[in-house]
Amino acid sequence: MKALTICQPYAEMILLGEKRVENRTWPTNHRGRMYIHAGKNREFWDDEVDGKRYPHAAWGAVVAIVNLVDCVRLDDPKAHARYPWLREHQHSYGPWCWILEGVNAIGPWPWRGAQGLFDIDEDELGKVANREIGLSVQP
């Protein structure tokens, strides 16, 4: 399955349903389920955004599965007709807005991130998950 690394605290904000859009400088044709990987890079880390604290450490882990339903330009009037909330959403600043729905928290399961959309082998992630929760992993 595809995955996307997102800097903290924004990955956590997606988990909490506070951030419904991921902003990128590039569009994607991918639609459907994808993993959210919370990056461990602390370069952009700020544990307070808009007066709310997000005290978790940067994770370097897979933390959610979301449904990527659309990718629109922030300045496209058709996008605002489809997603009336987009213009007022405090985390919409584009230029490309990846519209996220159906967030399901998982893990956190340690995983190395990457730039852009990348693939995670679900069987390998399952082994990591089993190890993290203490289940034996069959060879």
Ordered structural domains, the chain, with CATH = 2-132 (2.30.130.30)
- pTM given for the model: 0.86
Residue 55: pLDDT band (50, 70, 90) is low
- HEC states along 27-74? CCCCCEEEEEEECCCCCCCCCEECCEECCCCCCCEEEEEEEEEEEEEC
pLDDT of residue 50: 66
Strands 96-110 and 21-24: antiparallel
Q: By C-alpha distance, which of 123, 80, 126 is closest to 99?
A: 80
Whole-angstrom CA distances from 4 to 22, 62, 64, 81, 111 are 10, 9, 10, 27, 12
- C-alpha 18: how far from chain center: 12
Sorted by sequence, the CB contacts under 8 Å of residue 124 that are 6+ apart come out as none
Q: By C-alpha distance, which of 76, 46, 65 is closest to 1?
A: 65
Q: What is the pLDDT of residues 56-86, one digit of tens each?
A: 555 899 999 999 999 999 999 999 999 999 9
Length of the chain: 139
pLDDT of residue 19: 95
How much is the average pLDDT of 115-121?
96
